Chain A
Amino acid sequence: MIGTSAADVQRACIVPLGDAAALVRFADRLDDQANRAALALADALERSPITGVLEIAPSLVSVLVRYDSDVIDLVRLSGEIGLRLSSEAAPSAAKIHDIAVRFGGEDGPDLLEVAAQSGLTPSEFIAQHNAQPLRVLTTGFAPGFVYCGFHSQEMTVPRRSSVRARVPVGSVLFAAGQTAITATEVPTGWHVIGRTEFCNFNAFANPPTVLSAGDNLVFSAL
């Protein structure tokens, strides 16, 4: 179900983020419908631009709208955003990407642990992990770093208690009902379950990332 239902529109709340941006928030916590609503609004803002808006950045359950305060004020901006909240969502044109992953071993040192925490054998865990396509929820935290969700409740494990100072490019991370893929070396408290050759960030390319929020990823084991 993609689109903004009446309930989403009511839940959307616009808060100032400093004096040159606003955050349109659809929920206080991570929520599938709120994520879809955020992506739909970002899409509507792209299709029907507001004069004075400089940048739109969809996130997990909110959309950042950066604006030129010499061109538009917060009141008018909020009104224009409100109009786009109630507009019809465009037909879904989600792209599908195949992501081949080497699970476990040196590439995924935490696979055994998360499988055990989920009450599964490693191969059962991999099968369940790959059973459904995952949706890209947002890009953030680091260049090209994507959050993908959602896994079933039984596959939901907390983060690690300690942080790894650096995991390599292409690390496939798992926590909080989501899978994330790194595109640069980053520190992380998420479980490292595998590694992919796929790299989502290239500063020399335009656009610099391959995946967009809303795209579907089909994972397979190498």
Chain B
Amino acid sequence: MSARLKLLRCGPLTTIQDAGRYNGLRHGVSASGPMDAGAFARAGILAGTSGTTGIEFTTGGIALKSVEGTVRIGWSGGDFRAAVDGVAVPWSSGADLQPGSVLEIAAGAWGNFGYLRFSGEIDVPALMGSRATSMRARIGGLDGRALRQEDELTIVGAGLERQTVDAVDQDLSPVRFIWGIHAEQFTKDVRQRFVNSSFFVTAAMDRMGFRLKDAGNVFEGKSSLSLVSEPVLPGDVQILGDGTPIVLMRDHQPTGGYPRIATVIRADLDRLAQMRPGTELAFTSVTVEHAQALWRSRQK
């Protein structure tokens, strides 16, 4: 069973993702994977997918047509508006897309990333154990690049039964973190102000990292230390030489030499990824044990 889809329209940074490419750090490749892993999983349940892959799109929206075959699609993510053949359908949800039918999605009230998942697998080769697009390494997905208009994708394999999931609302409560591997290099005063100040997501945000505006000038004039490069993971908050904080995201550099004051916990990285430019955010520290308990409860 297979179907062929054609992209009629898509915004920048539209990529094929799966759960991520792990075990690549020692080869200089970070894992990639969906910016909002929870939403990616929910779209899969809504599609009744038997596959591992899906399409991540941005507020630029996406439109695609089934040019051959019927394909079961599930959609979730931030807030978006979806329509099949011009008729509005609920967000998040799913439907069978008939041959010749068009699914159109446009940005809604909040969020940066949305997901489409399909009954089967997107027919692209697995590289280093994953089909995820790494924009940085230029591998995975479709020739290691973002998707664009006119691209055609083949969906192979039958799906499973479609299930429903609870919708997720926007959550702007403080982003929880664990003190970073260089936290002790910052003064107590700076560490204290880091948790008491407001930061804003800026337009300089992509799959590699989110640059923040340091509204309280917490890191102003703090000269960057010369550090030996060490491994990086998603959620690391690094401070550039000019004092700009960056939260490193899924396509991060595998190693980095800027001081890292904090690492956002796994349970909060998805909702940080959905904060639009201009969103105010605050940070609050938790212990490793607490973060792990939150992760466990989130998985249930």
Contact = CB atoms under 8 A, between A and B. Distances in A.
Interface of A: 15-21, 23, 25, 27-30, 54-62, 64, 66, 69-70, 73-74, 138-145, 183-184, 201, 203-204, 206-209, 213
A203 B139 contact: yes
A27 B230 CA distance: 11
- Chain B's interface size range is 35 or more
A64 B25 contact: yes
B147 interface: no
B26 interface: yes
A18 B292 CA distance: 10
Given A20-B266, A23-B181, A70-B296, A208 B128 contact: yes
6 closest cross-chain pairs (CB), A and B: A140-B255, A19-B291, A64-B231, A57-B25, A18-B263, A69-B292
A17 to B, nearest CB: 6
12 contacts: A16-B288, A17-B236, A18-B233, A18-B263, A20-B292, A25-B230, A54-B22, A59-B231, A64-B25, A140-B255, A201-B27, A209-B27
B29 A143 contact: yes
Interface in B1-54: 22-29
A144 B139 CA distance: 13
Chain B CB within 10 Å, residue with most, of A18, A64, A143: A18
Contacts of A56: 26
Given A203-B128, A203-B140, 6 more contacts: A17-B236, A18-B265, A19-B295, A60-B229, A61-B230, A69-B295
A59 B255 contact: yes
A56 B234 CA distance: 16
Contacts of B136: 142
B165 interface: no
Contact of A143 (B137, B288, B296): B137
A208 B289 CA distance: 35
B266 A57 contact: no
Contact of A19 (B26, B128, B266): B266
B266 to A, nearest CB: 6
Interface string B274-300: 000000000000001101100110000
Contact of A141 (B23, B128, B181, B229): B229
Given A201-B28, A207-B27, A19 B231 contact: no
A70 B295 CA distance: 9
A141 B254 contact: yes
Interface of B: 22-29, 127-128, 136-140, 178, 180-181, 228-231, 233, 235-236, 253-255, 263-266, 288-289, 291-292, 295-296
A66 B236 CA distance: 14
Contact of B28 (A61, A69, A139): A139
Given A18-B233, A23-B231, A29-B228, A57 B288 contact: no
A59 B265 contact: no
Contact of A17 (B23, B24, B28, B231): B231
A36 B266 CA distance: 31
Chain B CB within 10 Å, residue with most, of A15, A20, A140: A140
B253 A139 contact: no
Contacts of B139: 143, 203
Contacts of B24: 208
B127 A17 contact: no
Chain A CB within 10 Å, residue with most, of B27, B127, B289: B27
A143 B28 contact: yes
A73 to B, nearest CB: 7
Contacts of A30: 228
Given A16-B288, A143-B137, A201-B28, A62 B236 contact: no
Contacts of B26: 55-58, 139, 213
B275 to A, nearest CB: 19
A60 B227 CA distance: 11
A56 B22 CA distance: 10
A60 B230 CA distance: 7
B28 A141 contact: yes
Contacts of A58: 26
Contact of A61 (B180, B228, B263): B228
Contacts of A139: 26-28
B28 A19 contact: no
B8 to A, nearest CB: 30
Contact of B292 (A19, A23, A59): A19
A62 B288 contact: no
B25 to A, nearest CB: 4
A95 to B, nearest CB: 15
Nearest to B25: A57
A90 B40 CA distance: 43
Contacts of A201: 27-28
